[in-house]
Amino acid sequence: MILIVDDQKDIGKALERLLRYAGHEADSVTSGAEALAMLHIRKPSLVVLDVNMPEMDGLTVLKLIKGHTELNHVPVVMYSSDTQSKTMTEAKRLGAVDFLVKGTIGFDKLVARICELAGEPKVGD
Amino acid sequence: MRLADFILSNVESILAEWDVFARSIGAGEHLDQLALRDHAGQILQAAAQDMKSPQTAAGRAKKSKGLDHPQEDDALDEASKLHAVDRLGLGFDMLEVVSEYRALRASVLRLWHESAPGPDDRDVDDLTRFNESIDQSITKAVASYTSRVDQARDMFLAILGHDLRNPLNSIGMTAHLVPLVCKDPAEAIACGEQISRNVWVMERMIADLLDYTRTRLGAGMPVRPTSLDLGSLARELFEEFRTAHPKLDIQLRTDGDLNGQWDSDRVRQAISNLLGNAIQHGSADFPVTLSLRGEESDVFINVHNGGDPIPPGELQKIFDPLIRGSSAEHPAKNRPGSIGMGLYIAREVAKSHGGRIDVTSTEREGTMFTIRLPRETAPQDGQPILDAEHIEKM
């Protein structure tokens, strides 16, 4: 299962649908707190994480995931319109496997890259 | 008495005279004395200290070219920069900042002259040194002001780009889905709705941006006043917000005659922006209250929320996204579908009806925005009024 975390609900839902059509199970939440709660229950194979979110930003969520012994093995890919190099550098430093910028990557490529990072969909995944 | 000594001995009386002028400039008329004088006293004292320091002909020539930089200049430069930044925050434009300097120079020289100093061969030297210091201060203030405006504009554009990209990304992604879901009517309908919703969000952002640009250019916000019952309008908005935020405690109170001549769409926009702002920044532990009170010639619209107060230094800045943007606020703090212009537009709507908007905010009392609207729209100079009578005359 691929977990999408984006405070823009429409983006999360649309990406969720695109990934389902690509053969993956996907779910989306709109806050870091919801994501952390769901990570313990659903054990996703990949987290797609926005950066600019109210209350808890994506870098904080990433730090919490990577600092948790039961969650730190889950790969996290950032998907954000934040193009500041310091944000990208910090995301990489914290352990993000990639940083995809909204609006600069075609949706076919976006889905292909996410699927590649998530691995082959498993039966019942 | 030498001019520098006169300035140092009479800072308060010089500032009192200058204060009257600064207050007469639009943005300064509602400010307290301390806010107006904050760095002007430091500028005067630094200028006087600079005048008292020895200066050679070579030093003067260098200073006239902005090349010389004695230690005394540091205090003057710093006070000048801070003064300009504060003025920007208080809504002064560049012309007003420069006009203040003109008034400061005139106040000093007039009061010095009235103190009847005897003729002194050194007067010309004093005047030259004083003018040099004021010119130096103006140069630093203008540089500081423009630099801050540039920085704020860049930040504003970055936030605007970010906020426009989100709905655009959603539209693009959903459009990409359409060929995949076309055989599933429910999914196709959901995609269509999602695209429409995000197009509407972008339209609203662009409309806000156009309103902002038009009013910043001085054209004024066009209004179309018609007979309006503000009580009915408030009840509609109240129901809309209660439906959209079922978990929040939103309250409505109305009192008195709420009828008048206003632009329904614009007033709706202003109240909606204030309610959205109250929900965004208020605490869910306290209600958001919309209350309207009709008095003889005016109607007052209050929107109140609890939670953390707005810091006192920010109160004058919150209405201008360009100034507020310079504080590098996190873009995600804007409401979805908003580019942070809600308060600016609410203020312009009030002004376009001949009214005004005020805000108070304390830990104990919470935050209250109040729009006062005269019952009959009283246009400002240059204000476009789009009623039938005015259009016929055009």
**DSSP per residue over B221-277, as a string?**
--B--EEEEHHHHHHHHHHHHHHH-TTS-EEEEEES--EEEE-HHHHHHHHHHHHHH
Q: What are phi and psi of B292, to 5 degrees?
A: -125, 140
Most confident of B80-84, B130-134, B353-357, B387-391: B353-357
> Both ends of chain B: CA-CA distance in Å?
61
**In this predicted model, what pLDDT tens digit does every residue of B216-273 receive, in sequence order?**
766 678 788 999 999 999 999 999 999 888 889 999 999 999 999 999 989 998 999 9
- Residue B278 confidence (pLDDT) above 90: yes
SS3 content of chain A, % helix, strand, coil (to 5): 45, 15, 40
Looking at per-residue pLDDT, the higher value among B284 and A31 belongs to A31
Tell me the nearest-neighbour CA distance from B202 into chain A, angstroms. 14
Could A102 and B197 be called an inter-chain contact, meaning their C-beta atoms sit closer than 8 Å?
no
- Residue B327 confidence (pLDDT) above 70: no
Name the residue among A8, A57, A82 with its Cβ closest to that of B336.
A8
Task: Compute the distance between CA of residue B344 and CA of residue B327 in angstroms, rounded to an integer.
Answer: 16
Burial of B4 (0-12, 13-18, 19+ CB in 10 A): buried
Q: What one-letter code names the amino acid at B99?
A: S
**Which pLDDT does position B383 carry in this prediction?**
59
Touching A: B residues 187-226, CB under 8 Å: 187, 194, 197-198
**Which pLDDT does position B33 carry in this prediction?**
55
The two beta strands, A2-5 and A46-49, are parallel
- Residue B331 confidence (pLDDT) above 60: no
- Residue B298 confidence (pLDDT) above 60: yes
Ranking B129-138, B312-321, B366-375 by mean pLDDT, the lowest is B312-321
Residue B333 carries which DSSP code? G
Q: How many CB pairs under 8 A join A and B?
A: 61
Q: Residue B337 in contact with residue B204, Cβ under 8 Å?
A: yes
Q: What one-letter code names the amino acid at A41?
A: I
Task: Compute the distance between CA of residue B4 and CA of residue B47 in angstroms, rounded to an integer.
Answer: 8
**In this predicted model, what pLDDT tens digit does every residue of A95-123 receive, in sequence order?**
999 999 988 888 999 999 999 999 877 54
**Which pLDDT does position B386 carry in this prediction?**
59
Looking at per-residue pLDDT, the higher value among A77 and B342 belongs to A77
Tell me the nearest-neighbour CA distance from B191 into chain A, angstroms. 8
Neighbours of A75 (CB within 10 A): 17
Could A103 and B332 be called an inter-chain contact, meaning their C-beta atoms sit closer than 8 Å?
no
Give A53's contacts in chain B (Cβ within 8 Å).
Answer: 332
Ordered per-residue pLDDT tens for chain A, 125 residues: 999 999 988 899 999 999 999 999 999 999 999 999 999 898 899 999 999 888 899 999 999 999 999 999 999 999 998 888 899 999 999 999 999 998 888 899 999 999 999 987 754 44
Residue with tokens 């230690």: B71
| Best CA proximity match to B166, nearest among A89, A123, A12 | A12
Q: What are phi and psi of A70, to 5 degrees?
A: -90, -15
Looking at per-residue pLDDT, the higher value among A63 and B380 belongs to A63
| DSSP tally for chain B: helices H, then strands E | 14, 7
**In this predicted model, what pLDDT tens digit does every residue of B73-106 receive, in sequence order?**
678 888 888 888 877 777 777 888 888 888 888 8
Task: Compute the distance between CA of residue B224 and CA of residue B266 in angstroms, rounded to an integer.
Answer: 9
**In this predicted model, what pLDDT tens digit does every residue of B104-155 receive, in sequence order?**
888 888 888 888 666 676 778 888 888 888 888 898 889 988 888 887 777 7
**Which pLDDT does position A100 carry in this prediction?**
95
Q: What are phi and psi of B45, to 5 degrees?
A: -65, -40
In the structure, what pLDDT confidence band is assigned to residue B208 with cuts at 50, 70 and 90?
A: confident
Q: Residue B258 in contact with residue B229, Cβ under 8 Å?
A: yes
Taking an 8 Å Cβ-Cβ cutoff, which residues of chain A contact chain B? 7-8, 10-11, 13-15, 17-18, 21, 52-54, 57, 81-82, 102-103, 107-108
In the structure, what pLDDT confidence band is assigned to residue B332 with cuts at 50, 70 and 90?
A: very low
Could A18 and B168 be called an inter-chain contact, meaning their C-beta atoms sit closer than 8 Å?
no
Question: B66 — alpha (psi -120 to 50), left (phi > 0) or beta?
Answer: left
**Which pLDDT does position B161 carry in this prediction?**
77
Tell me the nearest-neighbour CA distance from A114 into chain B, angstroms. 14
Percentage of chain B exceeding pLDDT 70: 81
